[in-house]
Amino acid sequence: MAEPSRLEIMKKAAGTYAADHYIKDGMTVGLGTGSTSYFFIQRLLERCKEGLNIQVVGTSKASEEMAKKANVSCIPHENVTDIDITVDGADLINPNFEIFKGGGGACFREKIIATASKEWIVIIDESKLHPTLFGTKLPVEILPFCYQTTIKQIHALGFEGELRLDEKEKLYQTDNGNYLLDIQLTQPLDSAKSTHDALIKIVGVCETGLFFDMASHLIIGKADGSVEVREAK
């Protein structure tokens, strides 16, 4: 088997730590999406095999599929109300715990699961720490109906975005059948909240990839396999 890369070591350290330290018997657990969440889910499913009794809800079909394959109880979406804890990854995070998410294409589902959770924990490798949020694209999930009008209004706010394409060069569709507009910022955001508020007001915008005032803890995986845990201020 190939040696794990530096990034994999960091992601695995963060995911494993979260599964071992934050999840307790009887909890309803939200499963994040992406390569760091993969390690969280993997360790969580191991713990279920060892006797941990939980039920889960996925932020994507891929994450849910992992749980279903391991015969862990998945709550049907129409029955989801309260979630004890959700653990999810991030694309970039600044010192104020303002986060860009949705790079893995699960923007809206990740947001609704996060807002339904009593506790929301973010797991990252060190490369995701950023002094500002300037440097990666901000995904915005938009409804397909008349989507060009939605994009026009987003552009009118001064944001330049491109629709995400899938591996067949077709318009990428989220698990909810929506499109993703990846906004390339031309300067750091003045405020995550006002940017989110401006975008979400546009009819046709389903959700933005800006997450703020949500995370209670940040778990940062390091290249030596250790973790650093930061608490929200």
Beta bridge partners of 162: 182
x/- mask, ligand 5RP, residues 157-196, rule CB under 6 A, reads: ----------------------------------------
Count of residues near ligand 5RP by CB under 6 A: 18
d(CA 61, CA 59): 7
**Which of 88, 141, 175, 207 contacts ligand 5RP by CB under 6 A?**
88
> Closest distance between ligand 5RP and the C-beta of residue 36, in Å?
3
Q: Which of 60, 192, 33 is nearest to 123 (CA)?
A: 33
x/- mask, ligand 5RP, residues 89-108, rule CB under 6 A, reads: xxx---------xxxxxxx-
CB 140 within 8 A of CB 199: yes
Q: Which is nearer to ligand 5RP, 31 or 54 (CB)?
A: 31
Q: Which is nearer to ligand 5RP, 28 or 128 (CB)?
A: 128
Active-site choice (110, 119, 207, 228): 110
Tokens (6 digits) for 38: 């993969």
110 tagged catalytic: yes
> Closest distance between ligand 5RP and the C-beta of residue 8, in Å?
11
User: Could you say which residues in the range 97-156 bind ligand 5RP, by CB under 6 A?
Assistant: 101-107, 110
Rg, Å, the chain Cα set: 17
Q: Is 86 helix (H, G, I), strand (E, B) or coil?
A: strand
User: Could you say which residues in the range 8-47 bind ligand 5RP, by CB under 6 A?
Assistant: 32-37
Give the β-pairing of 179-184 and 160-163.
antiparallel
> Closest distance between ligand 5RP and the C-beta of residue 225, in Å?
17
Tokens (6 digits) for 166: 């899938």
> Closest distance between ligand 5RP and the C-beta of residue 51, in Å?
28
Dihedral sign computed on CA atoms, order 75, 78, 33, 69: positive
Q: Is 116 helix (H, G, I), strand (E, B) or coil?
A: coil
> Closest distance between ligand 5RP and the C-beta of residue 102, in Å?
5
Q: Which of 43, 198, 36, 23 is nearest to 110 (CA)?
A: 36
Q: Which of 79, 78, 56 is nearest to 67 (CA)?
A: 56
Q: Which is nearer to ligand 5RP, 126 or 153 (CB)?
A: 126
How many angstroms separate the first and last alpha carbons of the chain? Answer: 42
Which residues are marked as active site? 110
Binding stretches for ligand 5RP (CB under 6 A): 32-37, 88-91, 101-107, 110
